[in-house]
């Protein structure tokens, strides 16, 4: 369901009112949405949040009560409020498909249309893309650390409010999580939902064994028992084994046990040994408790025997080194066909002007070699000299063995979505395939390989020309 158009920063509305006052609202404009640094100090990001953003664009309407609220602010003239009553987004959006592996300093979305259309939607687009891309990337990192083990998203109770919880579940499954504990997200996005029981279930009964038996009676074909309420190895596991035998005698089976505290590497090794010795090698071990990719990595490094990781807080809130926020930005790159750029003393923050393409050099085995940002329609070919967007003194060449493919496609035209909406499973499959095609080292957690994103000669020249022109005008003033 589309969100309210008032889910925006006030300055989007004041700028829009100003454009209307100045007769500029119908100028044709283009904005790029991108981020400057890969999240978590990593080597890549996983693109997510597009479909919710497109749904919001397509359904953008100002309701009467929203117009009346704005009127009550005493900021806006009646003509502007009448303009908002009629407002519809009728622009074009170009973007990669969700689940794509993307990198810093390359446009993700390019939004074109009238200046009014493209300006108003800035906050909403950033809100959707920034958060879900961050969480999808975090999930991909956790899944990489987990290896063959499954990852389940358990973060709803620690997420940033209800919508943050739903968005996090969606994005986590794009990034590789196999299921979520969030029942609403399961319904909305057709995601598998999984869960066990809380410590309060065990505490509510006279003893642990009675609690386990009651749960097994209620859910004989999906029983996963939380074994650390009192003592994992001396009480929880022995009682779980009693219930496992009883279930087997009735033609059912214990699905798993859950560890939620303590030394998860040690406890999972001991639990695996106890389960196997008792004749239950099929019972899976689920571990939770403040887990992220570094914890998973250490558990595996220490010989842990975890089959499923329930990852909550640090996934749903995308916490960790270089986390907190993606830092995506939305910048004007053209107006009425004229390239525009933001110029700053920090060249790394200067924008790339003009409407652009994002091309990816693909090797003979399908592997990703390098990305190139070039001007729309610009002819480029293998072997061309290309430049670092943050330091144009550094240059390299497009690989001779690579073929260039367009990373993005038109996903909205004239305000309407194009093509069929993909399933989360399809997006997750794309993520999994593309991560496997990255250069060796890009998925490393510490000091990852830096994947090359370059700009073309013509784009570099255009940026230098605009800098020179702006500098000359400023000196002449």
Question: Residue 235: inside a domain, yes or no?
Answer: yes
pLDDT of residue 277: 98
**350, pLDDT greater than 90:** no
Number of domains into which the chain is organized: 1
**477, pLDDT greater than 80:** no
Q: Residue 1: which pLDDT band, with cuts at 50, 70 and 90?
A: low
Percent of the chain with pLDDT over 70: 98
**83, pLDDT greater than 80:** yes
What does pTM read for this prediction?
Answer: 0.95
Mean pLDDT score, 242-253: 98
> CB of 27 within 8 A of CB of 312?
no
pLDDT of residue 377: 92
Round the CA-based radius of gyration of the chain to a whole number and report it. 26
Which three-class secondary structure state does DSSP give residue 328?
Answer: coil
Mean pLDDT, all residues of the chain = 95
Question: Chain-centre distance of CA 54, in angstroms?
Answer: 15
Which three-class secondary structure state does DSSP give residue 166?
Answer: helix
Question: Residue 195: inside a domain, yes or no?
Answer: yes
pLDDT of residue 160: 86
* Domain, as residue range, for 172: 136-316
Helix (H) or strand (E) holding 132: helix 122-146
**162, pLDDT greater than 90:** no
Question: Residue 181: inside a domain, yes or no?
Answer: yes
**217, pLDDT greater than 80:** yes
pLDDT of residue 35: 96
Structure tokens at 100: 């794509």
Which has the minimum average pLDDT: 143-157, 306-320, 341-355?
341-355
pLDDT of residue 323: 59
Which three-class secondary structure state does DSSP give residue 302?
Answer: coil
pLDDT of residue 331: 97
pLDDT of residue 345: 67
Question: Residue 468: inside a domain, yes or no?
Answer: no
Using CB atoms within 10 Å of the CB of residue 329, give its burial: 0 to 12 exposed, 13 to 18 middle, 19+ buried: middle
**280, pLDDT greater than 90:** yes
Question: Residue 360: inside a domain, yes or no?
Answer: no
How far from each other are the two terminal CA atoms of the chain, in whole angstroms? 50
Question: Residue 3: inside a domain, yes or no?
Answer: no
Q: Quick one: which of 95, 175, 32, 59 has its CA closest to 419?
A: 95
**475, pLDDT greater than 80:** no
pLDDT of residue 322: 65
pLDDT of residue 468: 86
Question: Residue 347: inside a domain, yes or no?
Answer: no
Mean pLDDT score, 445-449: 94
pLDDT of residue 343: 82
Q: Residue 327: which pLDDT band, with cuts at 50, 70 and 90?
A: confident
pLDDT of residue 115: 98
Q: Residue 392: which pLDDT band, with cuts at 50, 70 and 90?
A: confident
Q: Residue 473: which pLDDT band, with cuts at 50, 70 and 90?
A: confident
Q: Which residues contact 464 (CB under 8 A, 6 or more apart)?
A: 392
Mean pLDDT score, 431-439: 97
Q: Residue 348: which pLDDT band, with cuts at 50, 70 and 90?
A: low
Q: Residue 320: which pLDDT band, with cuts at 50, 70 and 90?
A: confident
**252, pLDDT greater than 70:** yes
Mean pLDDT score, 81-104: 97
Q: What torsion do the CA atoms of 380, 382, 387, 393 make, to the nearest 10 degrees?
A: -120
Question: Residue 32: inside a domain, yes or no?
Answer: no
**349, pLDDT greater than 80:** no
| 32: β partners | 110, 331
Residue 151 belongs to domain with CATH number: 3.20.20.70
pLDDT of residue 169: 97
**415, pLDDT greater than 70:** yes
d(C-alpha 184, C-alpha 187), whole Å: 5
């Amino acid at each position: 369901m589309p969100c309210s158009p008032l889910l925006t920063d006030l300055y989007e509305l004041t700028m829009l009112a100003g454009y209307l006052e100045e007769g500029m609202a119908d100028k044709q404009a283009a904005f790029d949405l991108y981020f400057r640094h890969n999240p978590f100090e990593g080597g890549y990001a996983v693109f997510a949040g597009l479909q919710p953003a497109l749904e919001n664009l397509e359904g953008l309407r100002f309701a009467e009560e929203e117009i009346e609220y704005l009127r009550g602010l005493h900021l806006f003239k009646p003509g502007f409020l009448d303009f908002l009553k009629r407002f519809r987004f009728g622009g074009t959006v170009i973007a990669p498909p969700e689940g794509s592996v993307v990198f810093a300093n390359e446009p993700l979305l390019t939004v074109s249309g009238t200046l009014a259309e493209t300006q108003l939607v800035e906050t909403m687009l950033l809100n959707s893309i920034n958060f879900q891309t961050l969480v999808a990337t975090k999930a991909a990192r956790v899944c990489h650390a987990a290896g063959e083990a499954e990852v389940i998203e358990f973060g709803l109770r620690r997420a940033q409010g209800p919508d943050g919880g739903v968005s996090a579940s969606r994005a986590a499954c794009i990034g590789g999580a196999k299921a979520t504990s969030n029942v609403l997200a399961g319904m909305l996005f057709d995601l598998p939902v999984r869960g066990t029981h809380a410590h309060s279930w065990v505490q509510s009964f006279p003893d642990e064994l009675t609690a386990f038996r009651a749960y097994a009676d209620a859910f004989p074909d999906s029983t996963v028992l939380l074994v650390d309420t009192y003592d994992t190895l001396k009480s929880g596991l022995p009682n779980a084994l009693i219930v496992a035998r009883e279930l087997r005698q009735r033609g059912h089976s214990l699905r798993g046990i859950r560890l939620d505290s303590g030394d998860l590497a040690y406890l999972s090794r001991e639990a695996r040994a106890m389960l196997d010795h008792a004749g239950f090698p099929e019972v899976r071990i689920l571990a939770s408790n403040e887990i992220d990719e570094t914890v998973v990595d250490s558990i595996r490094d220490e010989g842990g025997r975890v089959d499923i990781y329930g990852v909550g807080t640090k996934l749903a809130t995308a916490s960790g080194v270089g986390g907190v926020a993606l830092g995506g930005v939305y910048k004007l790159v053209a107006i009425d066909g004229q390239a525009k750029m933001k110029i700053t003393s920090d060249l790394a923050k200067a924008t790339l002007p003009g409407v652009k393409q994002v091309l990816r050099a693909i090797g003979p085995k399908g592997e990703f070699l390098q990305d190139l940002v070039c001007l729309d329609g610009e002819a480029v070919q293998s072997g061309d000299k290309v430049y670092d967007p943050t330091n144009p003194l550094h240059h390299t060449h497009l690989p001779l063995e690579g073929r260039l493919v367009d990373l993005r496609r038109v996903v909205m035209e004239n305000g309407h979505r194009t093509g069929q909406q993909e399933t989360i499973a399809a997006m997750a499959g794309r993520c999994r395939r593309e991560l496997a095609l990255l250069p060796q080292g890009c998925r490393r957690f510490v000091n990852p390989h830096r994947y090359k994103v370059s700009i073309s000669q013509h784009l570099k020249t255009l940026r230098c020309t605009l800098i020179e022109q702006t500098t000359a005008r400023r000196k002449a003033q």
